[in-house]
Amino acid sequence: MRPGKAARPGASWLAIRKEPPGRRATVLKAMAFVLPLVVWSAVSYLPFVWHPMMRVSDPGGSAFLQVGDRLPKKEFAAENARLATGGEAPAAGVPANPIFLPAPHEVARALYTGFTNEPVRPGEPWLHESLGHSMRIIFWGFALAALIGVPLGLLCGTFGLFSRLVEPFTDFIRYMPAPAFGALAVAVLGIADAPKVAIIFIGTYFQMVLVVANTTRQFDASLIEAAQTLGARRSKLLTRVIVPGVLPNLYNDLRILLGWAWTYLIVAELIGATSGISYFIQQQGKYRNYDKVFAGIIVIGVVGLVTDQVLAYLARHLFPWQGTGLTARERRVHRWLAALRRRAPLLTPSAASGAVGTTRNVAAD
């Protein structure tokens, strides 16, 4: 922008690598959900957009049509032509979409009744029971993967020994689709929930090791050098410098990998004894209740989104220095080095001055 010229209104909407102002950001977030809903509503409620079927409201003289049937417009016209030739009353209908694309209000009604009405078939779980079962599968599969994968990834990203020993085979396994292990998981673990947890574990563990290792390698090497100058030993470097330093990025990695775990849920729950929200969706598809199928899919999306937003909110409180600029980073460097100084052996004057110089250079980067 030239000096003396005021910024054009709305120019910041397309500012490169800058977040829109607060109100605009809120509007954009709302539009991210409103626009797909508008398109869905247009397709559902405006016949001229896309209504390739005819829903029969009066079968007329037809012997095989019934009220509520849907058939392509060409077939509907051909049937009326046949009825007209035979002197029968023509069938009446209204334009409609295929049965697999219900309208938004139908899905909303199915979502409400899924939580309030008992299942049609005796013994079938409620929607909330199916959802709770699926969440337990996700929790145990992801928790076990993180319990093993995160420490191993930290070791691989820190020590070349573990990197060369673990990552080649892990990189080989991660290209194998997790559902391919389904039959083996059932043979070893039975048909209950254990093989489902195993599929979630396999689908996230191998990716987790490599992602965590890569995040650890990106840690600022100058901070490690400063800690070594102050006399920090190998174990302290890992637990007092590297782990605290990568923790914010590691937290974000786990958020992304948790979404990855949800993508394996449908396949995992169809292995062995079908259960959970996947079973609900599958059964409703068999009954051709596609409004309930959409409701089940939306429930998965809502739970995943809410979980991610809660984790993002917690991250702002757990890591308040993230994204706050140089001052926060300088405070963090001084905090780490002060903690190391309290535990380090006495330093010579030359080593101490070198450490101070390193600290200043790191803070100024």
Widest distance between CA atoms in the chain = 110
DSSP string computed for 172-204:
HHTTS-GGGGHHHHHHHH-SSSHHHHHHHHHHH
Q: What angle do CA 305, 108, 111 make, to 5 degrees?
A: 70
Question: For strand 70-72 and strand 92-96, is the pairing parallel, antiparallel, or unpaired?
Answer: unpaired
pLDDT of residue 97: 92
- 92 φ/ψ angles, rounded to the nearest 5 degrees: -120, 150
pLDDT of residue 351: 42
pLDDT tens, N- to C-terminus, the chain (365 residues): 455 444 454 456 777 878 777 788 888 889 999 999 999 999 999 988 989 999 999 998 888 889 989 999 999 999 999 998 888 999 999 999 999 999 999 999 999 998 888 887 777 788 888 899 999 999 999 999 999 999 999 999 999 999 999 999 999 998 998 888 988 988 999 888 899 999 999 999 999 999 999 999 998 888 888 888 888 788 788 888 888 889 999 999 999 999 889 888 888 888 877 778 888 888 888 888 899 999 999 999 999 999 999 998 898 888 887 654 434 544 555 565 556 555 554 444 344 444 444 444 444 44
DSSP string computed for 267-307:
HHHTSSS--HHHHHHHHHHHTT-HHHHHHHHHHHHHHHHHH
Find out if CATH 1.20.1290.10 is the number for domain 127-364: no
3-class state of residue 227 by DSSP: helix
The structural domains of the chain, with segments of one domain joined by +, span 54-96, 127-364
Instruction: Give the type of residue at 278.
Output: S
3-class state of residue 58 by DSSP: strand
Q: 201, 144 in Cβ contact below 8 A?
A: yes
CA dist 259 and 94 (Å) reads 41
CA dist 162 and 202 (Å) reads 20
pLDDT of residue 332: 56
